[in-house]
């Protein structure tokens, strides 16, 4: 009984940790927290990385530890798990809307499985502009300011914007 | 056997990632500078995960940092293609392309490895590698079907690099034993799908597919080109000058 109550408290504490690079989404919104549990008095948090080289992961681990200590946890262990593999498909509709309102276009559709390498045979995703909703947008680069974002351009706003890549 | 195989996979990514990071601040345009740095970061991140796993499996208490910064050139197991100097932009793009298509096909198989952690890392790395392959394929088209100068340079790069691609499909007896256990995958079987996929893009880019000739080899056994030592000197100097330092 006490274990269930503690879990809820700890889940809530972890749920308040924001992604340092996308500070409108919590690490739970993103789906990178896979489990929070207690093992012999230690709070264990299973975390799955977004991108292999994402430098925010270490900051996120430190923030999770600090949030749990504030919520009264003693020993905390952050455990990295690799399966199932993180996908942007796990980001909820509500979180997607917050992302858009913040100015970052949310992932379009679900993460593609296969990839076409010949550029002219490839179909780009439709990514509505987060500011005006235009669908006449175009990709400028598949790589952006962080590992998870691409650079897009809206001809109607005449502004570039960031897109959280479907992966 | 398994630690050495993991070092193979890790060293390919660590050395190529370091090479690619040399472009940071020198890319031809801002977007490309950012893209190359991002790809380098993905590769070094994948290497970090694989080195951690190699250290854990080896059981001698070596961390990812210890493996990256305190091994000598002869202990590195990367294929030679990864360590070649970055060359011009066409050379960098062509190498990324040839290596990323191979990585994509290899990781597609490794994600069903019977080793759960390796399978998970491979599945993650695969998603990133697909982006890398698409990005470099885009540039193969732009350069190959671009100006006479860009066409000439990228064709020369492909011709020069081709002799280093054979090593990507090599396996030693230890790796064959891992294939039998379902941990590794048959690299030989990747050769034809790789050639087919590479050829499709080269043809779309109006480039010639080179004939297979003499193939350079030796990296998997620690016999490297002179270039690796110079790369390691730069990559390892801080960790070796201040052993145990943390930041």
Report the CATH fold assignment for A2-80: GMP Synthetase; Chain A, domain 3 (3.30.300)
What mean pLDDT value characterizes chain B? 96
Question: What ranges do the domains of chain A cover?
Answer: 2-80, 104-164
Asked if the C-beta of B152 comes within 8 angstroms of chain A's C-beta atoms, the answer is no
Check if the beta carbon of residue A100 is closer than 8 Å to that of residue A130: yes
For position A4, what pLDDT does the model report?
Answer: 53
Give chain A positions within 8 Å (CB) of B133.
115, 117
Whether residue B1 is predicted with pLDDT greater than 90 in this model: the reply is no
Asked if the C-beta of B65 comes within 8 angstroms of chain A's C-beta atoms, the answer is no
Whether residue A152 is predicted with pLDDT greater than 90 in this model: the reply is yes
Whether residue B236 is predicted with pLDDT greater than 90 in this model: the reply is yes
From CA A138, how far away is CA A145, in angstroms rounded?
17
Whether residue A3 is predicted with pLDDT greater than 70 in this model: the reply is no
The pLDDT tens digits for A10-33 are 999 999 999 988 889 999 999 999
Domain B2-241, CATH 1.20.1250.20 — does that match? no
Average pLDDT over residues A77-87: 91
Q: Looking at chain B, which residue has its C-alpha nearest residue A118?
A: B201
Burial of B30 (0-12, 13-18, 19+ CB in 10 A): exposed
Cβ distance of B45 and A83 shorter than 8 Å = no
Asked if the C-beta of B10 comes within 8 angstroms of chain A's C-beta atoms, the answer is no
From CA A95, how far away is CA A111, in angstroms rounded?
17
Substitution target in B20, B28, B38 with the highest count of A β-carbons within 10 Å is B38
- Residue B231 pLDDT class (50, 70, 90 cuts): very high
Of the ranges A53-62, A119-128, A155-164, B94-103, which one carries the lowest mean pLDDT score? A119-128
Residues near B42 by beta carbon (within 8 Å), at least 6 away in sequence: A51, A52, A53, A147, B17, B125, B128, B129, B131, B132
- Least CB–CB distance from B42: residue in A120, A144, A147: A147
Chain A nearest-CA distance from B123, in A, is 7
Whether residue A110 is predicted with pLDDT greater than 80 in this model: the reply is no
Asked if the C-beta of B134 comes within 8 angstroms of chain A's C-beta atoms, the answer is yes
From CA B178, how far away is CA B171, in angstroms rounded?
10
- Mapped to the 3 state alphabet, what secondary structure does chain A carry? CHHHHHHHHHHHHHHCCEECCEEEEECCCCCCEEEEEEECCEEEEEECCCCCCCCHHHHHHHHHHHHHHHCCCCCEEEEECCCCCCCHHHCCHHHHHHHHHHCEECCCCCCCCCCCCCHHHCCCCCCCCCCCCCCCCEEEECCCCCCCEEEEEECCCCEEEEEECCC
Answer left, alpha or beta for residue B95, where phi above 0 means left and psi between -120 and 50 means alpha: alpha
For position B75, what pLDDT does the model report?
Answer: 97
For position A1, what pLDDT does the model report?
Answer: 36
Q: How many CB pairs under 8 A join A and B?
A: 97
> Considering chain B, what percentage of its residues have pLDDT values greater than 70?
100
Cβ distance of B120 and A83 shorter than 8 Å = yes
Cβ distance of A145 and B34 shorter than 8 Å = yes
ipTM value = 0.87
Residues near B36 by beta carbon (within 8 Å), at least 6 away in sequence: B20, B23, B24, B27, B92
Closest among A41, A26, A36, A50 to B124, alpha carbons compared: A50
Cβ distance of A118 and B200 shorter than 8 Å = yes
Q: Looking at chain A, which residue has its C-alpha nearest residue B205?
A: A118
The pLDDT tens digits for B123-168 are 999 999 999 999 999 999 999 999 999 999 999 999 999 999 999 9
- Least CB–CB distance from B137: residue in A52, A55, A117: A117
Whether residue A158 is predicted with pLDDT greater than 60 in this model: the reply is yes
Cβ distance of B135 and A83 shorter than 8 Å = no
């Amino acid at each position: 009984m006490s274990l269930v109550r503690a879990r809820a408290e700890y889940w809530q504490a972890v749920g308040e940790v924001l992604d340092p690079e996308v500070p409108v989404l919590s690490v739970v919104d993103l789906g990178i927290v896979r489990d929070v549990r207690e093992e012999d008095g230690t709070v264990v948090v299973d975390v799955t990385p977004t991108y292999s080289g994402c430098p925010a992961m270490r900051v996120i681990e430190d923030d999770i530890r600090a949030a749990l200590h504030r919520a009264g946890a003693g020993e905390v262990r952050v455990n990295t798990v690799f399966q199932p593999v993180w996908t942007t498909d796990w980001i909820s509709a509500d979180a997607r809307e917050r992302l858009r309102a913040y100015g970052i276009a949310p992932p379009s559709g679900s993460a593609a499985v296969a990839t076409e390498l010949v550029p002219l045979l490839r179909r780009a995703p439709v990514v509505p502009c987060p500011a005006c909703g235009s669908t006449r947008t175009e990709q400028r680069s598949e790589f952006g300011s962080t590992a998870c974002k691409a650079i897009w351009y809206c001809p109607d706003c005449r502004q570039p914007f960031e897109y959280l890549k479907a992966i | 056997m398994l630690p050495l195989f993991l070092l193979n996979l890790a060293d390919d990514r660590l050395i190529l990632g370091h090479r690619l990071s040399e472009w940071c601040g020198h890319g031809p345009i801002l977007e490309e500078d950012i893209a190359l740095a991002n790809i380098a970061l993905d590769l070094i991140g994948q290497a970090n995960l694989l080195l951690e796993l190699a250290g854990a499996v080896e059981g001698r208490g070596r961390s990812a940092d210890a493996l990256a910064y305190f091994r000598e050139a002869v202990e590195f197991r990367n294929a030679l293609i990864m360590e070649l100097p970055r060359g011009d932009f066409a050379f960098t793009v062509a190498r990324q392309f040839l290596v990323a298509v191979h990585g994509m096909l290899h990781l597609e198989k490794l994600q069903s490895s019977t080793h759960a952690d390796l399978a998970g890392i491979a599945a993650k790395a695969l998603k990133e590698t697909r982006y890398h392959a698409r990005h470099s394929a885009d540039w193969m088209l732009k350069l190959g079907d671009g100006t006479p100068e860009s066409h000439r340079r990228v064709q020369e790069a492909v011709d020069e690099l081709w002799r280093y691609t054979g090593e990507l499909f090599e396996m030693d007896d230890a790796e064959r034993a891992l294939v039998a256990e379902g941990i590794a995958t048959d690299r030989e079987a990747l050769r034809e799908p790789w050639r087919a996929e590479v050829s499709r893009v080269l043809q779309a880019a109006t480039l010639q597919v080179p004939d297979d000739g003499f193939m350079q080899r030796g990296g998997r056994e620690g016999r490297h080109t002179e270039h690796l030592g110079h790369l390691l000197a730069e990559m390892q100097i801080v960790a070796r000058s201040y052993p145990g330092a943390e930041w």
